[in-house]
Structure 1
Amino acid sequence: MAVFDSKKFQSSAATNTFAAKYRAQMAKRPFLLFGLPFVAVMVAGSFVLTPATAIRYEKYDRRVRQVTRDEELNMRRSARKVDMKEEYY
């Protein structure tokens, strides 16, 4: 009994498309199937998350501000007196 090839016939028009070339390269190089999409997602995610982290730090900067000299003096005056016995015993 004769053994037939399992390779299907493809016309030259079908083999010249981008999808066919990509599929052929994918069989030879698994990086195109797994590595390239992973790297693309990581790079795109970095660009997407950059504005979100900027908003986070801007919010923190608005909340934390420098204390002026007058405010610092007022804080020192209104501070309670520290008593060693009260703190430790």
Structure 2
Amino acid sequence: MPRVFSSKSFSALHSNSLAARYRRQLTKHPFLLFGLPFLTTIVAGSFFLTPATALRYERFDRKFQQMSKEEAMGIGQNRRKVDMKEEYYRLQAKDLDAWEQRRVKRLKGEIDGILE
């Protein structure tokens, strides 16, 4: 029965090619020819991608900048300081027994909760 495939490997058929020479040297020096270029690529990629990632997040932060509650309400720095004792005595001075309950006016079409 004739053999269709040769028993020699592909690299043995092309022993003078660059790939075959690299393959032979790779078995002798695996870290130098595979590991070192791989690690160099990883480290260099990290250094090159860091500024790009920082730029991406800076743009995102500028686009969606959070305002503080005071800025959102338009309150400046001329707020009075709140002292709990002072507020307590101010409320004590008010006559809290003489108050009148008033309904808040509703917008047109808004349910006001009164049953008819």
Taking structure 1 as the reference length, the TM-score comes to 0.49
Higher relative contact order (CA 8 A, sep 6+): 1
Taking structure 2 as the reference length, the TM-score comes to 0.41
Say which one has the larger Rg.
2
Bigger helix share: 1
